[in-house]
Each structure stands twice: as C-alpha cells, then as structure tokens.
Amino acid sequence: MFRTRPLASRVAQALARQRQLGNCSTRQTRCFGQTAYRQQERPSFKGQLYESTQQRLKRERAEQEKYARMSAEPPGVRYLAMTITLVATALGCYYLGSLKPADLPTSSTTPLVETQPTRHNISSSNLQAAWGDFADIVGKENVSTDQVNLDAHSGSEWSSYTLKENEKPFLVVYPSTTEEVSKIMKVCHQRVIPVTAYSGGTSLEGHYAPTRGGVCVDFERMNKIIKVHKEDLDVVVQPAVGWEDLNEMLANDGLFFPPDPGPGAQIGGMVGTGCSGTNAYRYGTMREWVLSLTVVLADGTVIKTRQRPRKSSAGYDLTRLFIGSEGTLGLVTEATLKLTVLPKSESVAVAAFPTIHSAAECVARVVKEGVPVAGIEILDDVQMRCINASQSTTRTWKESPTIFFKFTGTPAGVKEQIGIVKDIAKGAAGQSFEFARNDDERRELWSARKEALWSVMAMKRNPNDRVWTTDVAVPISRLPDIIEQTKEDILKQGLLGGICGHVGDGNFHTILLFNDAEREKVEGVIHRMVKRAIEMEGTVTGEHGVGLVKRDYLDHELGESTVDAMRRLKQAFDPLSLLNPDKVVRVELPQPGEMKGW
C-alpha cells in the first residue's frame, strides 16, 4: 500500500518544475546542452494534468463566488441584469449581422419599385463643414453663398420647370482644374452631399434644378481651349468654352465645330444634353463630334473615355454613354472634339408657303431628293409675326410659314443646290423664294431663325408671363402631320405659340407664352404633342434632353425594361445618387399624384 501526496503539493511541485525549465530556456549559455531540446518539448502528461486541475479549481471557485453574490441579490435585480444581458447580446448580434455585405443583385435591371429612398446629408452642420473643405480646395473667393447667385443657379425664366421653394443649392463652388473637381467630389462623396453641375445654364427642361439642395459646381473658371490639333482636325477644351467663341477662334485657321444650339450654350452643357442645332441635318448631332471625354465620377475618380483617333473599337463606348447623361453619371472636365474644314462658300435662302403642312411637305421632298443642304429650319406664321412685332431683325417678313435653307460647299455646288431647292419649293406651292447674294444678305436672312425664342419672349403681356419651349422629333414622313396637329391644338386652346425647328431631321419646337392661369392649358398642349410623337414612333426630345419634365415619358417611348436598365447604369456609376439626382430617370418612387396619367 502506498501513500498519495496531497494534490496541492503535487501542483506546486509541477509549477516549480515548469519555472525551472523556463529559467533554463532563458539562460542560453549555462543550459545550452538542453535548451534546444526543451524549448520544443511539450510538458509531460502529469504536468498537463496538474495544470488543468489547478485551472479547473480556480474556475470552480470563481463560479461559486459568482453564484453566492447572485443569490444574495433580490430577484428583481437578477431579472434586470439578465434582461440587459439578453438585449446587449441581441444588439451585438444584429450589429455583427449588419456588417455582412448585402447580396449582389442578380437581375440586369432595376425596376422603380425596387429602389430605396436616397439618404443625403444636407444638414446645416455638414454643409457648413463642406464649405470649409471647398474653401481649402479652391479658395474662399471661389465659394459663394450669395442669395442672388444661388437663385441664378437654380433655374431660368425660360425653363419649362417651375422650381419649388426649397430647391436651391446651399453654395456654389467654382473649380478651375480636373484635380479640383475630383477633390470636391471626394468631399461630397464622403459627406453624402448631392451635386448639380452648371455650364452655361441654357437648358430648358429643368436640367440643373437642385431638387435635393446640396452643392452646385459651376465650371465658369474652366473656360480654356487647351490644345488645337490642326493637322488632326480636333481640339481639346474645358467645359465652360462657348461654341460661338470656339468657332470664332477656329475660323482663323479655316476650321469650325458644327453643332450650333442656342446662343450662350457651352461645351459642358452641350455634351450633357447631346444637343445639335441648325447644322444637324448636314453634320449630325453632338454625339458625332465628341472624340473623348475626361470625367470625374461620383466618388472623385477621374477617367478618360478614349484617345484621339477618329475611330476605335477598344472596349465599351463610354464617350457616348456620358453624352446626353445630363450630369447624372459624371462631371465632364475636358472634351476632345472633332473639327471640320470651314466651307469655302455659304448662302441662305428663304421660302414662304401658304400653310404649315405645305412647308413641311417641301422639307420632306428636299430630304427625299438627297440635296446636301447644311440646314433646313422652319418658322410658322405666328413665329414670323412675333419676329416682326418685336422688331428683333432689320427687315419686315412675310407673316406666313417660312423655311430657311442654309447651303455650304464650293461656289458651284452652292449654286446648284439653290437651283434644285427653288424648283422643289415652287412645286410645293411656295409663294416666294429669296436667296442671299452676299454675306450681308446671308446674315440678314438667317437672323430671323436665331431670334425665334427672344421674339416670343418680347411679346409678354406682363412681367409674370413665362415662355415654355420644348421639342420632339418624328420620322421625316410624319413631320407634316404632327406639326399641323400641334398648331391646331395651340389655336384651339387660345394660346400664343410659335413653331420652329430643325425640320431637316424631323425635329421641331414649340414656344408657348403663358401666365399662371394658362399653365394647365400649356401643359395639356405639350402632353398631347409628346404623346403624338411617341405614337408616330418618334422621340420625346430631339435635342433639348430629358431633365425633369420629360423623364416620365421615357417608359412610353422606350419601355419600362429599357428605363430600368438605365436606372441600373445610374446606380452602377453613382450608387449614392449624388450626381444631379431625379434627372433622366427616377431614383425613388414618386409621391402620390406626382406622375401624370398617359
């Protein structure tokens, strides 16, 4: 029979042995012979047993003490502690669960019903802190909170969108470089502040209305023509370069940039709306004349869509994706534009017709004959009457539907085009045909076309009158019908409204004068005009862009799935919906009564 030593004595002996081994491992010089072996050697079975036994005894004593304390507490305290523990555990589990990334979408589109409300931070403290960030980036003198300035960057008197009281930016910031724009967007992305871009401000469909407040980025200081490549026929410009100023400079080298929208338009806005102008019939729209773009994305990332060659099949065509995106996908800070040679000869002809339908028929015949005219513009009798009444030109015009033709090319080619068009006009019941014999006559004859909008605005009956101008486009064969039906609708409603447009490519505009009491009538005329265009396989806008006013018509023109695909693109480039929110496509469900019935 043998005697067993007490457990405590054995544990103490095992711990002493472990301390001795540990000391030996630190004394490399004295214990070298056994150190290498014992550093890797695990404790013996008895050592592990003694160690685990002592740990178990300590744990049991701690549990007994805890139980004794809880037993001494009143039941209410114990239940409260248990409740707090359960709640804390639940909250902790919820928090850990929220850290798990959301599942990626598996569909190719985003239906409107699946969108989530946008969550911007437009609190005063956040915006004021952003003001300090912007001042550090561009300087205090280039950040404005002046009320007059804020109003000017919210809309214009010729826009068809009526601003709401709270739709104003908190501030306007004026960058001068792509790097500054990138830094501004990084601040807005970090602070979740919505951003509206401003370049020229000539847009008509509420394009730059700050529906979510936030910040307006005005490109006024980015107005440089960076580089002209004469031998390659292209030019690199910043967004605030005006197309008129650009062409004035290019003319010195015998070059020009064809897109010519309204006076005052700038390259950034022209890219944003995908505009065209009076030269579109011959030269095409903005999409045909942009080679490359430098774009700042919503998180401040800077990309360049392609290089300078005239053609490329390298990857996705991001250049055209951003053209017409109205600042909802990125901010354009540089554009490389194609140029062409300035025509050697140019002339203008004006033909009057008895009805708007006969004038439109003449246009269709010119197009069908393939006459390479540079532009074909139409103004109806009301529009011509407004031009005479406003005295916006130096001559008095025949107040009947009128077509303005622009001819370019060699002198012989221009002369031949004029002869062909004159015969076509005569065969379409033309009442008169007058063509320019020199540059002065050319400018005089063309001046009426450029004064269309301003002449209607000059007809205001009181300061509260407004002008609503919008456009649609249809296949050229349907142009006479839609113009005639729209004109009849305007007369039936008793409104003053002119019709004009770039009818060579099936695009025409209405310019309607109205007051608050007439607004509902005007909205009805526009709605029916857009509906007719869609039913004729046309488009809700030929060149003005979608903005706020036309966005809900896209479902009818393109189909819901197509618009859902556009919404997915918007979310891919701008997941926080910071860039010009609410334009082109809705990013969240409308309020009751906000969408008009079809």
Each residue of 142-186: pLDDT tens digit? 999 999 999 999 998 888 898 888 899 999 999 999 999 999 999
> Burial, 23: exposed, middle or buried (Cβ in 10 Å; 0-12, 13-18, 19+)?
exposed
Number of other residues whose CB lies within 10 A of the CB of residue 383: 27
CA distance 200 to 259: 15
- The per-residue pLDDT for 19 is 52
Q: Please give the average per-residue pLDDT across 329-333, as a whole number.
A: 98
385/383 Cα distance (integer angstroms):
5
**pLDDT > 70 in the chain, percent:** 85
Average pLDDT of the chain to the nearest whole number: 87
C-alpha distances in Å from residue 406, one per residue of 37, 92, 289, 415, 511 = 99, 73, 20, 12, 22
Rounded to a whole number, what is the distance in angstroms from the first to the last CA of the chain? Answer: 105
Classify the C-alpha dihedral 235-241-247-249 as positive or negative: negative
For the cut 50, the answer to whether the pLDDT of residue 591 exceeds it is: yes
Alpha-carbon separation of residue 251 from 230, 291, 528 (angstroms): 12, 20, 43
Listed in order, strand segments (DSSP E) in 87-192 are 143-144, 171-173
- Reply yes or no on whether the pLDDT at 291 is more than 90: yes
Distances (CA, A) of 244 to 290, 335, 375, 526: 17, 16, 17, 30
pLDDT interval class at 44 (50, 70, 90): low
CA separation for the pair 502, 504 (Å, rounded) = 6
Q: Tell me what the mean pLDDT of segment 395-416 comes to.
A: 93
CA dist., res. 249 & res. 247, Å (int): 5
Tokens of 206: 């509420």
| 80 has pLDDT over 90 | no
**Quick check: 92 pLDDT over 80?**
no
The one-letter amino acid code at 354 reads: P
Choose among 303, 290, 294: nearest CA to 243.
290
pLDDT for 37: 40
Task: Give Cβ neighbours of residue 579 (< 8 Å, ≥ 6 apart).
Answer: 194, 195, 197, 298, 327, 328, 329, 330, 331, 573
Averaged pLDDT for residues 284-313 = 96
- Could you tell me the pLDDT band of residue 11, with boundaries at 50, 70 and 90? very low
The CA distance from 491 to 495, in Å, is 6
pLDDT at 401: 94
Binned at pLDDT 50, 70 and 90, residue 521 comes out as very high
Answer for the pair 489, 497: CB distance below 8 angstroms, yes or no. Answer: no
In this structure, is the dihedral angle defined by the CA atoms of residues 475, 479, 483 and 485, taken in order, positive or negative?
Answer: negative
Q: What CA–CA distance (Å, rounded) separates 298 from 295?
A: 10
Distance (Å, whole) CA 185 – CA 179: 10
Between the alpha carbon of residue 446 and those of residues 261, 377, 378, 508, the distances in Å are 14, 10, 11, 17
Q: What's the pLDDT score for residue 394?
A: 86
Residue-level pLDDT at 30: 39
User: What pLDDT score was predicted for residue 51?
Assistant: 61
C-alpha distances in angstroms, 175 versus 216, 225, 388? 11, 16, 43
Residue range 345-549 forms a domain whose CATH class is: alpha beta
**Contact (Cβ atoms closer than 8 angstroms) between residue 377 and residue 452:** no
Report which secondary-structure segment, H or E, holds 272. Answer: helix 267-273
Give CATH for domain 124-218: 3.30.43.10
**pLDDT-derived band at 237, boundaries 50, 70, 90:** very high
Helix, coil or strand: residue 288: helix
Q: What is the pTM of this model?
A: 0.81
Flag whether pLDDT at 444 surpasses 90.
no
Confidence (pLDDT) at 357? 86
> How many Å separate Cα 73 from the centre of its chain?
65
The whole-angstrom distance between residue 61's C-alpha and the CA centroid of its chain comes to 69
How many CA atoms within 13 Å lie on the side-chain side of 587? 25
Burial class, 243, CB count within 10 angstroms (exposed 0-12 / middle 13-18 / buried 19+): buried
pLDDT of residue 31: 42
DSSP class of 31: S
Average pLDDT over residues 274-287: 93
User: Lowest-pLDDT range, 58-62, 67-71, 202-206, 505-509?
Assistant: 67-71
Q: Which CATH number fits domain 225-341: 3.40.50.300, 3.30.465.10, 3.40.50.10490, 1.10.599.10?
A: 3.30.465.10
Q: Kindly indicate the confidence band of residue 64, based on its pLDDT and cuts at 50, 70 and 90.
A: low
Q: Is the pLDDT of residue 209 over 50?
A: yes
Confidence of residue 306 (pLDDT cuts 50, 70, 90): very high
* Alpha carbon 237 to its chain's center: 19
Maximum CA pair distance of the chain? 139
